[in-house]
């Protein structure tokens, strides 16, 4: 690919998060996505964005429930912004127990399985935990109508820094509840892990060193289908 030939009239946009870059050089610097699409340059948009940044020299430090305040440090502005996390959708079914199994035990086993493939374990704390819960609840409530692009936008509101997520669903045969086909929580986790780690692209970002935080969330719908989401992020503890 000759990036020089693309100069002047085109740029590359991440199909996952919309981040723009002048060169076709995956992964995306914002979300780690590997798929970039070639799109025309929008000069008017760039001018608008540049004008919106004129006169600003500040760094936002975000924390749960911190009231807005501004202080001057070294010629720049240090800004604390009030942060209200997105509300978790009220998904039908259970986020705690189903089929006689503890779903939190399934979540722990999934994260343990991912960490077993990493040099440094993911820390499951702060906003990344809520983001994983949101991803699963969103998927349960929207079904096939929900888009990955829309969900990515919602998860950005958790202010995780750079992040990626993956979702999977276990379904049973006709008239069978998927959750009831497993003997224990480890068996459910193993089913998800075989799928997640068996996908080279997913394995790559789940084990990437740039992501220090991560969380798994599991939910069982009323018909017994098992939903799981895993979110990994560079931030997510409140200060990014």
Quickly list DSSP for 76-107.
Answer: EEEEEEEE-PPPPP--SSBSSEETTEEHHHHH
Using alpha carbons, select from 107, 95, 101 the residue that is nearest to residue 230.
107
What pTM was computed for the model? 0.68
pLDDT in tens, 65-105: 333 333 333 444 444 455 678 899 999 999 999 999 999 99
What was the pLDDT predicted at 14?
A: 79
What was the pLDDT predicted at 78?
A: 45
CB 137 within 8 A of CB 219: yes
Token output for 224: 């017994």
Ramachandran angles phi, psi of 105, nearest 5° = -65, -35
Using alpha carbons, select from 4, 2, 27, 5 the residue that is nearest to residue 16.
27
What is the rounded CA–CA span in Å between residue 153 and residue 167? 15
H or E stretch covering 36: strand 36-40
What was the pLDDT predicted at 139?
A: 94
What was the pLDDT predicted at 106?
A: 98
CA distances from 190 to 115, 150, 209 (A): 14, 29, 23
234 preceded by a cis bond (ω within 30 of 0): no
Residues of the chain predicted below pLDDT 50 = 1-8, 46-80, 239-240
Give the CA dihedral 24, 29, 34, 38, nearest 10 degrees.
Answer: -40
């Amino acid at each position: 690919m000759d990036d020089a030939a693309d100069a002047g009239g085109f740029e590359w946009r991440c199909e996952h998060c919309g981040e723009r870059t002048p060169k076709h050089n995956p992964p995306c610097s914002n979300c780690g996505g590997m798929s970039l699409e070639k799109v025309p340059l929008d000069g008017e948009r760039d001018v608008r964005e540049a004008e919106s940044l004129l006169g600003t020299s500040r760094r936002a430090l975000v924390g749960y429930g911190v009231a807005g305040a501004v202080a001057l440090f070294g010629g720049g502005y240090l800004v604390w912004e009030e942060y209200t996390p997105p509300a978790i959708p009220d998904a039908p079914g259970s986020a705690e127990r189903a089929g006689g199994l503890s779903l939190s035990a399934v979540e722990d086993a999934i994260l343990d399985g991912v960490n077993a493939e990493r040099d440094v374990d993911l820390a499951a704390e702060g906003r990344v935990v809520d983001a994983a819960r949101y991803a699963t609840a969103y998927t349960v409530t929207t079904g096939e109508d929900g888009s990955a692009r829309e969900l990515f936008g919602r998860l950005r509101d958790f202010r995780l820094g750079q992040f990626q997520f993956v979702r999977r669903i276990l379904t049973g045969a006709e008239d069978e509840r998927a959750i009831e086909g497993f003997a224990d929580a480890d068996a459910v986790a193993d089913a998800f892990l075989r799928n997640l780690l068996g996908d080279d692209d997913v394995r790559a970002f789940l084990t990437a060193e740039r992501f220090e935080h991560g969380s798994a969330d599991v939910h069982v719908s009323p018909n017994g289908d098992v939903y799981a989401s895993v979110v990994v992020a560079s931030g997510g503890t409140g200060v990014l």
